[in-house]
Amino acid sequence: MTLGVLLASGASAEGMEERLRTQLRSTTQQLQALQSEQAQASAARVAAENQARQAQAQIKQLTADLAKARGVAEQLAGQQQNLHSQAQAQMAASSEQIGKFKKAYDELLVMARAKEAERARLQAQLSERDTQVQQCSVKNQQMYGVAKQILAAYEKIDVAEVMKIRQPFAGGARVKFEELAQGFGDDLYKTQFDAPQAASTH
């Protein structure tokens, strides 16, 4: 009986040892799994921390870029305002300059019209003078012709005819001579040049 108990006790001890070994293996496996999970969790935490740092760096960079963009926008707005003010000033100056040019043009136009009227008046006077000169030339030619006729008539009068004219009873010869002299006088009168009359007839 004692041997049986011992055998039974030995078998029981072996079974317990096997169970303990099984539990140990299970515990070891669980521990390894926990360690693996812990390592993964640590790696995930490190990755998350790295991502957080990267995100913070990106936020910092974006904040700097935003501030820079805001500064550039404000600078551009100031430049645009300056350009707008300069454009308005240039437009005002251009309008004033255009007004001055227009005034000067109007004054020159008035002067040009006055000069043109003066030129037309002088041209009319010149044409009138040309006409008078032409008429005077014609009168001179006519007077020259009358003078030639007088000389020709004078050359034809002899001493006997002059004596007849001086005789008290030589009325016919005197009348003939007076008519001849009157005719020459009329011709000479016609050859006189009267500038105002020539201008009025022109």
Amino acid at 15: G
Q: Cβ distance 195 to 139 under 8 Å?
A: no
How many residues are given for the chain?
202
* Full-model pTM: 0.37
pLDDT of 21 reads 85
196's tokens: 């105002």
Model confidence over 120-156: pLDDT tens digits?
Answer: 999 999 888 888 888 877 877 877 777 777 767 666 6
d(CA 195, CA 97): 53
Helix (H) or strand (E) holding 170: none
Residue with tokens 């009267």: 194
Residue with tokens 């006088």: 185
Q: Cβ distance 142 to 191 under 8 Å?
A: yes
Residue with tokens 């317990």: 16
d(CA 33, CA 177): 174
Q: Cβ distance 146 to 192 under 8 Å?
A: no
Local confidence pLDDT in tens for the 202 residues of the chain: 455 555 555 556 677 788 888 888 888 899 898 888 888 988 888 998 999 999 999 999 999 999 999 999 999 998 999 999 999 998 888 888 999 999 999 999 999 999 999 999 999 998 888 888 888 778 778 777 777 777 676 666 655 555 555 555 445 555 665 666 676 666 666 665 555 554 455 5
d(CA 41, CA 34): 10
CB proximity list for 188: less than 8 A, separation 6 or greater: 143, 146
